[in-house]
Amino acid sequence: MIIVQDLHKHFGGFHAVDGASLTIETGSITALIGPNGAGKTTLFNVIAGVLPPTSGRVVMDGEDITGLPPHVLFSKGLLRTFQIAHEFHSMTCRENLMMVPAGQSGETLWNTWFGRKRIADEERALRAKADEVLEFLTIEHLADHPAGQVSGGQKKLLELGRTMMVDAKIVFLDEVGAGVNRTLLNTIGDAIIRLNRERGYTFCVIEHDMDFIGRLCDPVIVMAEGKVLAQGTIDEIKADEAVIEAYLGTGLKNKDKLEGAEA
């Protein structure tokens, strides 16, 4: 369980996150929604150790993890998906997955000289794991394709796949559906549901696609102006006057997003 207590993140005099408190229950697929500029990505970045908070606390399973760097959080099973960096575009999808786990024996000179067999065994195991992940995500046919040449949606699946190469406990997904076609979005949604049900992953998802949110997420947490405005099921949220007002207040485009209409 992640508990965020009275979190603030200021940029100069601007309060991007302004006293947000929320709980992400273990085993849930929790959505974080809100109008543009509500502070969602900033909140994610603070929880994931990318940005230090101005004040407030983040507690994971009873441990204060406020401000810990991403690699330490990674080792604790808290992961945030990242776009595949440009440098890795020429590597194949399988290789991109095989690069994720840290602390392999091959990293030390000693092992390079004396542990060849162990390295070969580890590499074989990693390769098998990567292939299993690709199959789970239904993109096994892309194993030998350069990551830079697959579609936007397939890249999103690969980003999700990277979290499956380690023992993730909680995964933060930022706009996994952005620019992804409906069919692939459904595949991504299926993968998230299966990871949640079969492998016990907890998810926290920022997403503007209300159909996607409605299918996957409970609860839905709404942010506005750096604070948590409401929490509930998708139907409760859509009927909440304060939520409608927050979306309306930022323009019709945002209100359309709440209703799930095509933008």
- Summarize as ranges the residues that interact with ligand ATP (CB under 6 A): 11, 14, 16, 34, 36-42
Q: How far is the CB of 252 from ligand ATP (least distance, A)?
A: 16
| Assigned token pair, 214 | 């409605």
| Closer residue to ligand ATP, CB minimum distance, 136 or 247 | 247
Under DSSP, the state recorded for 205 is E
Q: How far is the CB of 41 from ligand ATP (least distance, A)?
A: 3
- Our CB check for ligand ATP shows the closer of 11 and 114 to be 11
Closest among 212, 205, 207, 219 to 184, alpha carbons compared:
212
Nearer to ligand ATP, 36 or 149 (CB): 36
Q: How far is CA 128 from CA 99, 103, 158, 225, in A?
A: 13, 18, 16, 46
What's the closest the beta carbon of residue 37 comes to ligand ATP, in angstroms? 4
Q: CA of 45: how far to CAs of 24, 28, 60, 68, 150, in Å?
A: 15, 20, 15, 11, 27
- Please report how close the Cβ of residue 251 comes to ligand ATP at its closest, in angstroms: 12
Residues 6+ apart with CB under 8 A from 114: none
Q: How far is the CB of 203 from ligand ATP (least distance, A)?
A: 17
> Which of residues 48 and 93 has its CB atom nearest to ligand ATP in the complex?
48
Collapsing DSSP to helix, strand or coil, 210 comes out as helix
Toward ligand ATP, which CB reaches closer, 131 or 225? 225
- Tell me how far apart the alpha carbons of residues 151 and 141 are, in angstroms, rounded to a whole number: 13
